[in-house]
Structure formats: C-alpha cells, structure tokens
Amino acid sequence: MRIAKHPIIEDYNKGRPVTFTLDGKEMNGFEGESIAAALKAEGVMIHRYTGKQHKPRGIFCAIGRCTDCVMIVDGVPNVRTCITPLKEGMKIQTQYGVMPKSE
C-alpha cells in the first residue's frame, strides 16, 4: 500500500525509517515521503472531518490543491499532508473542520 511515485514531487526519495505519532499512536514511515503516503501505508485513510456535517476526508487530489488531506502537524493546523515530507518525531493529529491560522 506504499506510494512509490508521486505525480508532482519529482524527487521522491525515501530516506531512513522514522517514527511519528498519529493522535498519540506510534507509527512508522520513511523520512522524506509525504505524510499522506506514510499514513496510507499504515492503513489510515481518514485525515480530517468536515466542520458542518462531520464527514470523513482523506487523500483526494494528492497534489496540494484541495484541502481534503489537511491535518494538524506539530501543532500547526491545515497542513496539506499529501505534499509535506515526513520527519522523525512528527506529531500528527486528525483535524476537525478547517481551523483558523494562528497569527
């Protein structure tokens, strides 16, 4: 289930194995792959829930144009996980609705 080639990111080299957490649960991935790819490989398909109807959303466009894959990453909301590289120790959280950016 691991994504091997990305349609937009030209240099898609996976690095060393890393660990990260999703809602407090430890998971594994490869440094440099997208957060969304690492989550998909771990069987995670839901990244956020819509604000009004609480419908699940996950990878849709996989090129950073929509907001279906946004999550809270290291305390920052609305991170497009399909184009954000994974790093060791990232703390990723399921997002509920689109959150305002902190100033």
SS3 at position 43: coil
Q: What percent of the chain has pLDDT over 90?
A: 64
Residue 72 has pLDDT above 80, yes or no: yes
What is the pLDDT confidence band of residue 102, given thresholds at 50, 70 and 90? low
Mean pLDDT of the residues in the chain: 87
Tokens of 78: 């609305």
Residue 12 has pLDDT above 70, yes or no: no
Q: Give the phi and the psi of residue 36 in degrees, each rounded to 5.
A: -60, -40
Q: Say if residues 36 and 61 touch (Cβ distance below 8 Å).
A: no
Residue 103 has pLDDT above 50, yes or no: no
